[in-house]
Chain A
């Protein structure tokens, strides 16, 4: 069974008295352990699709299934629970919580899950070592470089060992070298730990790292390879 399955999904936004079709009748399956990039020009519906998979939004038509849950049928509280248990998010602009330190940001989901402090710290030490963040535990996000912040964001996304990590243009704010390092890191995590990644990007560099590229155009599937 697929980890993620979209069945004839459409997402339509009302805009004034018009309607914007962001995703149109799209079907897609993603299995656990995949490393997928959603590619496509600006406005093609990448973010919208990630939001649907990530339980941040619900489809106008069709069904989105995540690990056996029909996302379209759940309530806000239930969606929050699904996100907490199944999904890790990485955003383009990092979006770390400014009042929390790097370590506290990373362990935030573990805290929400009610995991005790000792276990949380253990996991953070492990993750920070893996991500090359040792020594930065007590820094505030504002005192970290963009690449470091994005690695803390990856740590936060991975901490609770979610079924899938969704990343919306994770390298768009980073320079070439940092992007390259980060992609190599995520690829390694995918290969060694079997973490499922779904990216969105129109960056050829990112696309070149992907094992599967799903191309979108105007909300429709253009190619899948």
Chain B
């Protein structure tokens, strides 16, 4: 009966209810969408940082990731790789070298990553960012996959010849020919302008480091659990090796992710404070208008607590209704942005920040918390905004209230 009263009371002033309701619906739907896009950006950043280069974890000699010393190399047994296999989505043994890459008549300093193509593509996703040509093939000894900026600077295209010069581990100058197989464009300027993927045996031969590696990049199923997985892996490794998760490789990125939860709450609060004040205003008005009625309800024996409950139920009912519609709209909008999105590359260039790249697109990712947080906060706001008017109603003196005209 209290519910019935509450719901009918809501529909008394239809226009006002609909206005308040639409404010609540719009704010919660927009919030869900905003948070979705925010998550999408974050995911893009994290993906560009991990899926284009590092992977989620790196196994390397202690200190290697700080100075990238050529001599800090290691080898692992096949047993270890077999042990790693079932626990991860992919792993890629790599050897790295820095040197000068030349095309027909131009040169540029580059970073070469020697990889096993079939394994590398399970860790990074450069194959999804090909602009020209194709990815390296498993048995391709001298192929190279180069960044788009680099290809432009050297004026080369797939099929062209390159020469790479560097110092080998034995002190000699190593140089050899490569053939461009493909060109990738990730949006990350650093990688697009200076990263080259080559075959691992080719680089091992050039550097005179047969069978040696600088790192093993690993991809796991849940990137946000990388730290825990790293700790677990550390115990199985010889003490000369270390495991760094992406948070340690990219500390700024970790902070961006950590600050996300805070930013989300701030956005939610700002939007809802405005909505909350609107609700508060509406409910105060509706309670004050019904002063006499509350007096009658109390005169015939309704207890103050029941009056308070009734007003709270009204706000709650409105909140629930707004929530239902808002969530549906928000999820639909987010789904649209997740599957269609808006491409902004016409007017914006990619921004690389904290080691990740924000792509010039509006693209949402649907996460449960992005729906639950706005939903829960909306209900909370409704109850808070309802509390003051409810208390006001409950504290009315029936004699005074009934005399009110």
Contact = CB atoms under 8 A, between A and B. Distances in A.
Interface of A: 51, 54, 56-57, 76-77, 80-81, 83-85, 87-89, 91, 95, 97-100, 104, 108-109, 111-112, 156
Contacts of B8: 99-100
Contact of A84 (B1, B12, B301, B305): B301
Interface in B266-310: 292-293, 296-306
Nearest to B307: A80
Contact of A99 (B5, B292, B298, B398): B5
B402 interface: yes
Contacts of A57: 399
B401 to A, nearest CB: 10
24 contacts: A51-B399, A54-B299, A56-B399, A56-B402, A76-B304, A80-B298, A80-B304, A83-B298, A84-B302, A85-B301, A87-B301, A89-B300, A91-B402, A95-B402, A97-B5, A99-B5, A99-B8, A99-B12, A100-B5, A100-B8, A104-B1, A108-B1, A112-B302, A112-B306
B9 interface: yes
Interface of B: 1, 5, 8-9, 12, 292-293, 296-306, 398-399, 402
Nearest to B10: A99
Contacts of A111: 1
Nearest to A48: B399
Contact of B300 (A76, A83, A98, A104): A83
Contacts of B305: 77
Contacts of A85: 301
Closest 7 CB pairs of A and B: A84-B301, A99-B8, A95-B296, A80-B303, A83-B301, A56-B399, A111-B1
Nearest to A76: B304
Contacts of A91: 296, 402
A83 B298 CA distance: 9
Contacts of A95: 292-293, 296, 402
A77 B303 contact: yes
A77 B304 contact: yes
B300 A156 contact: yes
A84 B304 contact: no
Contacts of A51: 399
A97 B297 contact: yes
Nearest to B299: A89
Given A83-B301, A97-B297, A111-B1, 8 more contacts: A56-B398, A77-B305, A80-B301, A83-B299, A84-B302, A88-B300, A104-B1, A108-B1
A56 B295 CA distance: 10
Contacts of B303: 77, 80-81
Nearest to A162: B301
B300 A84 contact: yes
Contacts of B304: 76-77, 80
A51 B402 CA distance: 11
A81 B301 contact: yes
A184 B28 CA distance: 59
Nearest to A75: B304
Contacts of A54: 299
A23 B226 CA distance: 80
Contacts of B293: 95, 97-98
Nearest to A97: B293
Name which of B1, B293, B298, B299 has the most chain A CB atoms within 10 A of its CB. B299
A91 B299 CA distance: 10
Given A51-B399, A95-B402, A80 B302 contact: yes
Nearest to B8: A99
